[in-house]
Amino acid sequence: MSFEEILFYLTTKQAIVIYGVLLLSAFIENIFPPFPSDTITLVGAFMAGRGDLTYIPLFITVTIGGMAGAMFLYYLGRFKGRSFFRKYDKYYLKIDNLHKIERWFKRWGVLVLVVSRFMAGIRSVVAIAAGVGDVPAGRMTIFTFISFCLWYLMLIGGMYLLKSNWVKLVEVVKSYNIILVIISALVITVWLIIVYRRSGIKK
């Protein structure tokens, strides 16, 4: 759906329903990254700018929704990830890779979590990997919260400053997400190829 279509749909709803849509969309995007949560958030910010919503409740709503989605994936990785690695140890999910993830998060975990919301396409993988890598729940919560706050402050603040030129802002955010998704897909593809070749050599 386009910005205009989402705006038209939400304009016909009561404020409580709109906040509910914003909360749910922020949650869903973590589970299903192609979902246009950022566009919906920008629509919410636009509506706040004209008085249909309020900025602070908007910010709190999308932050809670996003955090809920990220923590859901984190706990999924924490409670199911290790057994998944063990089950598929004979394939590319080698148990050695589990230990690599743990070491990687010990070294770079804080930085990765802080910028995770800015990494379209792989933010969901980061949340799951944090769970698999046994990152402490407190650390995951704090630094992921910081990441979401920064991202939504940027989106909502950008719309507040550029509401008269919202078309440009929406295009920039969409282009940013598309570019990062492409880069993420390439990185993951290269990683899978490397892992596959290494496993072939070991055999």
Phi-psi region of 135 (alpha: psi -120 to 50; beta: other; left: phi over 0): beta
Q: C-alpha 18: how far from its chain's center? A: 21
Distance (Å, whole) CA 30 – CA 68: 9
- pLDDT for position 81: 72
The C-alpha atoms of residue 64 and residue 178 are separated, in whole angstroms, by 24
Per-residue pLDDT of the chain (203 residues; tens, 9 = 90+): 678 888 888 999 999 999 999 999 999 988 887 788 888 999 999 999 889 999 999 999 999 999 999 999 999 888 887 676 666 554 444 555 566 666 777 777 788 888 888 877 677 778 888 888 888 999 999 999 999 999 999 999 988 888 767 777 778 777 777 777 777 677 667 766 765 666 555 55
3-state SS, residue 136: coil
pLDDT at 90: 47
How confident is the model at residue 192, as a pLDDT?
62
User: What pLDDT, on a 0 to 100 scale, did the predictor assign at position 91?
Assistant: 46
pLDDT of residue 116: 80
Q: Cα 99–102–108 angle (5° rounding)?
A: 135
Q: How far apart are CA 17 and CA 2, in angstroms?
A: 19
